[in-house]
Amino acid sequence: MTRSTYEQVERPSLKGGARPAPTTSGQRRRKPAFTARRGLVIAAYMAPAALFVAVFIYYPMLRGSQMAFRHWNLTDLTDTSWVGFGNFQAIFTDPAWSTVLSNTALWVFASIVPQFVIGFAIALWLRRRFRFRGLYQALVFFPWAISGFLIGILFRWMFNSEFGVVNDLLEKAGLIDEPIAWLADPKMAMIAVIVANIWYGVTFFSIMILAALQSIPNDLYEAAELDGAGKVRTLFQVTIPYIRMTLALTVLLRVIWIFNFPDIIFGMTGGGPNNETHIVTTWMITITQQGDYGKASALGLIVVAVLLVFSVFYLLATREKKGAHS
C-alpha cells in the first residue's frame, strides 16, 4: 500500500469543513457564561410566580401579623389602635384556652399513634405479593384523595344518634342497649372526631411506609432467614432499622399536618358541643367568624411559631438522612 493510499484510508475527507479537533474523555463541555441578558430572561420567567406568592401569601402574612398587635374588630373598625401584646394576653386568659390546648394535644397524640401502627401493618401486608394486590392498594389509598371536610360530613352522618350506622352496628353486635349521642356529648364527640381522623390519616402512613419497604434489598431478608431470624426479629432488626429515618420524617410531617388540620372537626362538630371539641386552628377560625381579627391573628402567630419549631426538627432530620446516604 502506497503512502497516498494510506492517507486516503486513515484520513477521510470531510465535506464542506475542516477536520474536527480530537476530544478526550477528560474534557468537559464549558458552561455558557452568565450574562445580564440571561439574568433578565430568568427573572422574567420567575416574576409571575414571585408576584403571585408575594400578593397572596407574604402580604396577607404581614397584614395578619400587624393585626395581631392592634385592636381589630369588625364591630368597630373606627378603633384600630395599637394594643401591643393585649391580644395574646386575651388568648391566654380566655377560659376556653386550657380546653383548646388540651384538646389539641389529645388530637395530635391520639391520632398519630394509631395512624402509624395501622398504616405500618397495612404497608407490611401490601408489600407481599398476592392476587388483586393492586386493587387493594387502590382501595387503601383512595381516602387520601377525598377532602377532609367531606370526610367530616360523612362521619357526622355515621355518628348520628338517630340514624347513624355506628349506633346501628353496635346495637346489632349487642355492645350497647340504646343509641349513643356521639356528637352531643363532649367526651364522645372528641372520640368521634379522632376516630375519623385516624381513618383518614392511615392512608398517608401506608403510602409512605410501603414506598420505603419496597426499597429494602431482598438480600437482607435472605441473610436474616439464613441466620434463623423469625418474623418479629426480622422486623425489629432489619426492617425498622433500615427505614427508621423515613419513619421519623413521616411522623414529623404528619404531626405538622394534624396540628394544622381543622377540616374534619369543622365538618363533624364545628367545635361543639359548647366549644368542647375545638383545637387551636378551629378556635382561630371561630374567632375570625366572630369578627375579632386581632385576637385571631395573634392566635395565628402562635400556630405559626409552633409549626416553625416542628419544621426545624423536620429539616434537621432531613439533613441527617441526606448525610447518612452520602
* Helices 293-325 and 280-289, packing angle to 10 deg: 150
> pLDDT 10s per residue in the chain (326 long)?
444 444 444 444 444 444 555 555 445 566 667 677 888 888 888 999 999 998 988 888 887 788 889 888 888 777 778 888 989 999 999 999 999 999 999 999 999 999 999 999 999 988 887 777 778 777 878 878 888 889 999 999 999 988 889 999 999 888 888 888 999 888 899 999 999 999 999 999 998 999 899 888 888 888 888 888 888 888 888 888 889 888 988 998 899 899 988 899 989 998 888 888 999 999 999 998 888 888 999 998 999 888 888 888 877 877 766 555 55
Instruction: Identify the CA nearest to 303 among candidates 273, 261, 274.
Output: 261
Q: What is the pLDDT of residue 325?
A: 56
CA–CA distance, 180 with 159 (Å, rounded to integer)? 9
Dihedral sign, Cα of residue 214, residue 218, residue 219, residue 220: positive
CA–CA distance, 207 with 140 (Å, rounded to integer)? 9
CA–CA distance, 164 with 157 (Å, rounded to integer)? 6
Q: What is the pLDDT of residue 25?
A: 47
Q: What is the pLDDT of residue 321?
A: 61
CA–CA distance, 47 with 68 (Å, rounded to integer)? 30
